[in-house]
Structure 1
Amino acid sequence: MIPEELLLKYNAETKDFKKEESIFSEKQTAHYYYQIVNGAVKMNNFNDDGKEFIQGVFYKNQSFGEPPLFIDVKYPANAVTISDSTILALSKKDLFKLLQDNPEIHLKITQSLAKRLYYKAIIASEISSQEPAHRILRFIDYLKEDVYKVTGKHSFKVEYTRQQIADILGLRVETVIRVIKLLEKNGDVEINKRKVYR
């Protein structure tokens, strides 16, 4: 997203986190822009029964948790590492200075936030009205075509686990496992060493 050298120039700190370590919690005030150098982070909530709902999973070079910085609200979800991770943290004040000095970066941030809004709208629609197979394919195609811009049949490796897909789409993990096997049988996906390719 933002070049690492630019973040460091504007006083970003490099922070190391262990797997399953909390970066911030729901209802905390946002003070930093976070960008992943290595590792992976999930943003999640839990319902009253303790069931996890994953809002999104973020990987190397992706940022997360920015919206509250721009509108002065508290975080709507938790951010937790799903592997050992190295993350750059830039204070809100320094981020705004960086964006003022670099309008092309400001535009990229705006585009990224717009993509996430689009994704949320699509997922909300899929969860409310579509069959599990359609939901899963639509989610994977969104990642392949809109996020990672990958072309070619079975060229995109899905980094999400079956459990994460279930938590994002509001499905049971058993349903996701069954549907992915069916999608493989129909030629919609390919499974190689337990990884799904679309």
Structure 2
Amino acid sequence: MTERRPRRHDPERRDRIVEACLEVVGEVGVAGASTRRVAAAADVPLGSITYHFDSVDALLVEAFERFARRMSDRFEAAMATVHGIDEARRAVVDLIAVDVLTDPHELVLTHELYTLAARDPRYRRLTHAWMARSRHALERHFDPPTARLLDAMIEGLTIHRALDTEPRDRDEVELAVDRLTRTSPGDS
């Protein structure tokens, strides 16, 4: 009779799988994110993936939902702590230059999400919700049209940062934010 190994109690396993999925996608992209790689990164048996998720796609959706929520939370926290238009401008510059989406891993995840969103309405809804949260956080300090333009500029500059061979100069970012927000109704 074969002795049965005790079952491993692992209440964080599902969470670890989702985090490992983000790690793997950040390293090799969605196309390279096999269940085998995710299981190895999460240090779980391969069967744990199918136990916790109906499909690889279900895992990807949950992982990208988590990533988008995490990024939105950081964005909102940065904008919630400022007072006045000048602090708001500095916070936007810091979001672009220092705080959000400056990590190469996060940039890859963002671009992988954008690619999925271009083809799949589920991911498009996810990116739409992320953009709506960003605009809402910006609207605490800027009128809605300015917030929309700032959000687009932030997205565009993160794309440039990911693809450009030259680093972005903070002065250039400050100039862009100033020009875009100079005529905001909250200006004094």
Calculate the TM-score normalised by the size of structure 2: 0.27
Calculate the TM-score normalised by the size of structure 1: 0.26
Looking at secondary structure, tell me which structure has more strand per residue: 1
Looking at secondary structure, tell me which structure has more helix per residue: 2
Q: Which structure: larger Rg?
A: 2
